[in-house]
């Protein structure tokens, strides 16, 4: 048995779990009129209501004891102060430094001067693009920005751009290209003018084949002006300045990022450039300030009053003691439509591992399958399974009190559904075949602003960190994505070449040959 599953608190949680065999949340509410007050908390303008969970005060005490037994406090300190907690790559994980101000040392050097210099470089560039002093060929104002990137070089920025679209007035339209499926980039380019379009190539490594393929398509579409001396049409965000230069990006148009920031944690770096171009640098820095407020909450709040810790521990409770394999993210706000996709990478690329930081095989479940969609649409899609299926699917319901629009009637309907669903999942209606007793967390955001969006995303970053700390796994590497990439690189010439393929397993050979037989022009 691992140190985790043989620990006193883990074993206590296992026996505590048995008490919940027949427990019902409605009984927990009946037994304590103050359950909502005791199982909810505010951080800034966010409210977390975790009262609709299969958890008692004793449950929370045991989970908090587990966190302490796993040295969570020490690990949080190590994270925030730049210890090399990304053990497999011998790196720090300092996405929090990107939104801070106090000195943070990496290899004996304070990283804050270069963080601040990059923010200044972003501000100068964004101001120039937005006031027209930085423009396309012939000085024409940029009306459109294309961000070319994938994974963390896409999902976080696209989420922020979509969520904060109402803050985009006065700025260029921002578009995102990520998949190597050329249909997407071709459809986008059809409607744009190369002379008024700015392209950002976002790639920490500047070697991701999808990004380089799409960036080449966009660069060629722009024509020779894109690489002409003094051109502003092509910029890059990368840790590899040399490769960006070889691609045709002038050194002055390269925005740096660093190896101590993981891709899925990089929204706060210059990877946020498309967001800043769209909403303005002041609003982008408000996003950073919101994340910083959540960092301070994570640093200072006692575990029992810490939103990230509570979300993380409840996730472990269902994952490791109830066998729940997935967790649903259900934002009741179309502005947050891309939140589930961003959290999928953030959580599953961090937590989807079966070896501990010490290289030992785990004997417990780790990362959950993160999925979701916006409500109320989800109610007309998969809520049947949530209400009457055979599976336990814990869910986070997220809603905004004051919308970014003025239609109070529609918003009241949206909120009524948000409230009704968590109540129905908990209370059920046995006579109508609704078992109920299905847990959920409710997160209310007073108003969706750059600041509160920053808080919300940082909340989940820290939730993921807490879970990985307890599981003893490294949240900040992603070795699992390499094998598929390598195989794709070796299969690519087979797909492109003429003739039958026999070099792979029978399935791959059969599939490739079917493709070839049905691609004749």
Chain residues binding ligand F6P by CB under 6 A are 150-153, 203-205, 208, 211, 263-264, 349, 478, 481
Q: What's the token pair of residue 95?
A: 């996405």
- Supply the angle between the helices 307-321 and 281-300 in degrees, to the nearest 10: 70
Taking a C-beta distance cutoff of 8 angstroms, is the pair 43, 307 a contact? yes
Residue nearest to ligand F6P (CB): 263
Comparison of 333 and 349: residue with beta carbon closer to ligand F6P: 349
* Cβ-contact 198, 232 below 8 angstroms: yes
Residue nearer to ligand F6P on the CB measure, 346 or 400: 346
**Residue 198 tokens, joined:** 């700015």
Q: Are 277 and 171 in contact (CB under 8 A)?
A: yes
How far apart (Å, rounded) are the C-alpha atoms in residues 234 and 147?
10
Q: Which is nearer to ligand F6P, 203 or 474 (CB)?
A: 203
CB of 349 to ligand F6P, least distance (A): 6
**Which CB sits closer to ligand F6P, 153 or 421?**
153
Distance CA 156, CA 451 (A): 15
- Long-range pairs, 251-260, Cβ under 8 A, ≥24: 255/118, 255/121, 255/122, 255/125, 256/114, 256/118, 257/204, 258/94, 258/111, 258/114, 259/89, 259/91, 260/82, 260/86, 260/91, 260/92, 260/93, 260/94, 260/97, 260/106, 260/111
Closest distance to ligand F6P from the beta carbon of 271 (Å): 8
- 59 vs 153 by CB, closer to ligand F6P: 153
On the question of a cis peptide bond just before residue 376, with omega within 30 degrees of 0, the verdict is yes
State the minimum distance, in angstroms, from the CB of residue 486 to ligand F6P: 13
Residues whose CB is less than 8 angstroms from the CB of residue 518 and which lie 6 or more positions away in sequence, other chains included: none
Least distance in angstroms from the C-beta of 494 to ligand F6P:
23
- At how many degrees (to 10) do helices 506-517 and 482-496 cross? 40
Active-site positions read 349, 380, 485
Report, in Å, the least distance between residue 329 CB and ligand F6P.
Answer: 19
- Ranges of beta strands (E only) in 225-335 are 234-238, 254-256, 326-331
Q: Report angle CA 147, 267, 245 to the nearest 5 degrees.
A: 50
Cβ distance to ligand F6P smaller for residue 154 or 463: 154
First to last CA, the chain: 59
**Of 261 and 287, which CB lies nearer to ligand F6P in the complex structure?**
261
Task: State the nearest-atom distance from the C-beta of 17 to ligand F6P, in Å.
Answer: 34
Token output for 49 = 């209501």
Q: How far is the CB of 41 from ligand F6P (least distance, A)?
A: 32
């Amino acid at each position: 048995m691992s140190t985790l599953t043989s620990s006193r608190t883990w074993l206590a949680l296992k026996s505590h779990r048995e008490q919940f065999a027949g427990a019902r949340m409605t009984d927990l509410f009946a037994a304590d009129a103050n359950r909502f007050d005791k199982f909810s908390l505010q951080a800034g303008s966010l409210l977390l209501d975790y009262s609709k969970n299969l958890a008692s005060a004793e449950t929370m005490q045991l989970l908090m004891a587990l966190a302490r037994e796993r040295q969570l406090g020490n690990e949080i300190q190590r994270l925030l102060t730049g210890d090399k907690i990304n053990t497999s790559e011998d790196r720090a994980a300092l996405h929090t430094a990107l939104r801070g101000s106090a000195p943070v040392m990496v290899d004996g050097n304070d990283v804050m001067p270069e963080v601040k210099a990059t923010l200044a470089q972003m501000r100068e560039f964004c101001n120039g693009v937005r006031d027209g002093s930085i423009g396309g060929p012939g000085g024409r104002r940029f009306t459109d920005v294309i961000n070319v990137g994938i994974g963390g070089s896409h999902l976080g920025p696209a989420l922020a751009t979509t969520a904060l679209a109402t803050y985009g007035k006065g700025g260029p339209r921002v578009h995102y290209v990520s998949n190597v499926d050329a249909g997407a980039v071709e459809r986008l380019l059809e409607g744009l003018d190369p002379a008024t379009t700015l392209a950002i190539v976002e790639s920490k490594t500047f070697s991701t084949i999808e990004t380089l393929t799409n960036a080449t398509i966009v660069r060629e579409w722009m024509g020779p002006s894109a690489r002409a001396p003094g051109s502003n049409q092509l910029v890059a965000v990368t840790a590899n300045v040399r490769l960006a230069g070889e691609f045709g990006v002038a050194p002055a148009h390269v925005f740096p990022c660093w190896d101590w920031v993981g891709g899925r944690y990089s929204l706060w770096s210059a990877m946020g450039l498309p967001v800043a171009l769209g909403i303005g640098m002041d609003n982008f820095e408000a996003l950073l300030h919101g994340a910083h407020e959540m960092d301070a909450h994570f640093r200072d709040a006692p575990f029992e009053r810490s939103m990230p810790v509570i979300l993380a521990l409840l996730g472990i409770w269902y994952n490791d003691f109830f066998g729940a394999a997935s967790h649903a993210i259900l934002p009741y706000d179309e502005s947050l439509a891309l939140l589930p996709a961003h959290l999928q990478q953030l959580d599953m690329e961090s937590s989807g591992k079966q070896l501990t930081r010490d290289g030992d095989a785990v004997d417990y479940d780790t990362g959950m399958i993160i999925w979701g969609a916006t409500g109320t649409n989800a109610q007309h899609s998969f809520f049947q399974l949530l209400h009457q299926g055979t599976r336990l699917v814990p869910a986070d319901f997220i809603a905004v009190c004051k919308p970014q629009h003025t239609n109070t009637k529609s918003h009241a309907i949206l909120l009524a559904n948000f409230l009704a669903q968590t109540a129905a999942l908990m209370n059920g209606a046995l006579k109508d075949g609704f078992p109920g007793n299905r847990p959920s967390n409710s997160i209310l955001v007073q108003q969706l602003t750059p600041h509160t969006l920053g808080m919300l995303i940082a909340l989940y970053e820290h939730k993921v960190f807490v879970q990985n700390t307890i599981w003893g796994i490294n949240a900040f590497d992603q070795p699992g994505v390499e094998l598929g990439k390598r195989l794709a690189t070796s299969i690519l010439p087979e797909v492109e070449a003429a003739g039958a393929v026999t070099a792979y397993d029978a399935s791959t050979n059969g599939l490739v040959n079917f493709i070839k037989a049905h691609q004749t022009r």
